[in-house]
Structure 1
Amino acid sequence: MRKIIHIDMDCFFAAVEMREDPSLRTVPLAIGGAADRRGVIATCNYVARRFGVRSAMATAHALRLCPGLRVLPGRMALYKQVSRQLQDIFARYSHLVEPLSLDEAYLDVSASPLCGGSATRIAEAIRRDIAQELHLTASAGVAPNKFLAKIASEQNKPDGLFVISPAEASAFAAQLPLVKIPGIGQKSAERLAAVGLYQGKDVLAWPKSRLLQQFGRTGQMLWQRAQGVDDRPVEIDRVRKSVGVEHTYPSDLMEEAAAQACLTELLQELHGRLQRHCCPERICRQGVKLKFADFQQTTVERSVQGWEPALFVRLLEEAWLRGAGRGVRLVGVSVGLPEGQAERQLDLPF
């Protein structure tokens, strides 16, 4: 077993803006794109969330829910600067840090002698340093693995701490709604509910063989998570698995020819990004994503052995047919990269 801490900053982009301008603390605030340019909310403060505003929501819809919403375009350079300060704080407590984004990370403190070897006290110290030095708040989860630590960090948000001990892991996971498991989205949860699977304990009531037969690799993952099991180590050097580009258009694309024209520009940008990460001839998967006017989306992917521009055209054609006449608000293209060999850590006593 390990001692894992998951740190998740509270409404990070919005919190930084409120720190820079304290007058924003009491008003509903969001960071995102403009409504007249089909913008989307990146994050929002807790005042805005009381109106139902959420990340990934269209800005126009957010403004209908909260007419007084203050929407800022965001300052990525500033957020990255603060994120580097955050990483410096993490490094004081462990050299095993896996950043997930600018504002969250896993820390493996299994072998740390700090704070008497207590992962809980280390998490408290990290949150204290963040508050004192960055004038921001963070929530933390402490658990014997990454899966449970991430769930735990959400339990007492904002500015909270939640601990799941090894002795509590299986009971906690058994009561956990399956929709809270990372990798199980709303649609997947609905499909699981259709066969009577709602919580971890429902999964454990099924024979493992039936789960594998009906859900494949997802069934294997569910069987482990329902028991509170997650063997993944904290990875210091995360291997990039994909590169993608997408764009939301000011007005819906109603003709496939218009989408194909947009595809040409996206592929030029994607090829440029790809060259910064690996040789295009090394890619192993290509995909096209469309988001329709009703916000439903579809993705079509194929395995490849190198860059095939013509394949993107065929993938777009297939995705377009799934729209059944609906306008398209977003087009995206992506490629998968060969997986590297991850070095696993040794398990250490909790």
Structure 2
Amino acid sequence: MKVSDFDFYLPEELIAQHPLEKRDSSRLMILDKKTGVIKHKYFHDVIEYLNEGDTLVLNNTRVMPARLIGEKEETGGKIEFLLLKRIQGDKWECLAKPGKRAKIGQKFTFGEGKLTCTVVDIVEEGNRIIEFSYDGIFEQVLDELGEMPLPPYITEKLQDKERYQTVYSKEKGSAAAPTAGLHFTEELLQQIRAKGVNIAYLTLHVGLGTFRPVKVEDINEHIMHSEYYVLDRENADIINKTKKNGNKIIAVGTTSTRTLETIGDENGFVREQSGWTDIFIYPGYKYKVIDELITNFHLPESTLIMLVSALAGKENVMNAYNEAVKEKYRFFSFGDSMLIKE
């Protein structure tokens, strides 16, 4: 199967540059994965498709303000670091821009010296390992000096940092938001619970590999990035009870999906577990755990549209995307949503 099989025409004006005023007022496309039939709704209508005893699985990761803009200690030359993951203590793997300025041993300052770092190593794909020095608590310093690492296709400045967080975000560690969850409000979640729908939480810290293009023509040759996940016993029990009772597991987002499918056994049951996943899901994959999926509209030729196509069928998904373009749905992180249902 070729990468070009997942291409579609997307006008630039359909790439959402900012979130809507009300989270759950975005549009919602309903796609029947068996028939390919499409319906057009609004996100707050999603409750109509959730039944008592079903379980909605949410990723409670929280995005770090991981974009730091500083300057070289000796020359004052500008540099940008994007924190990807903590290695140990104050050592972090990051992307440096421009990378040629970030050589081993060089020092950089941020916020007039409130934070400094030294480049200690260069790793695969040109990423840097840096070690920070500061007074106080690192997270507080980062909250003060860091900016939200918005995807490269969003060019407008975000006025409210919390709009790139889900309302249930909790565990800090992501370099990008699990964007399918951005549509939920506290009120909508309360209504869902009141209907008897279970809500389970897991954590997968989203890495920037999410936005990394597939550079090989044969998708079998693509190597996925790895991301850290956690599922605790309490939430594993909720998911397993749902499975035993014959009710549906609805994953919110590709991140929740990848975590569940990594942990799930051949019968679709999960267990308390943490670790790193580099699972690559594309057509031909047989889903074990999830039955349905709530997801945003993804980039052409991306691993995310391949994952969605594995659940609903490539033809159904590409038809749905062409319909979304025709109906002027909003795409990507701040865009509209799709429910793939049975």
TM-score by length of 1: 0.26
More strand by share: 2
More helix by share: 1
Please identify the structure whose Cα radius of gyration is greater.
Answer: 1
TM-score by length of 2: 0.26
**Highest relative contact order (Cα 8 Å, sep 6+), 1 or 2?**
2
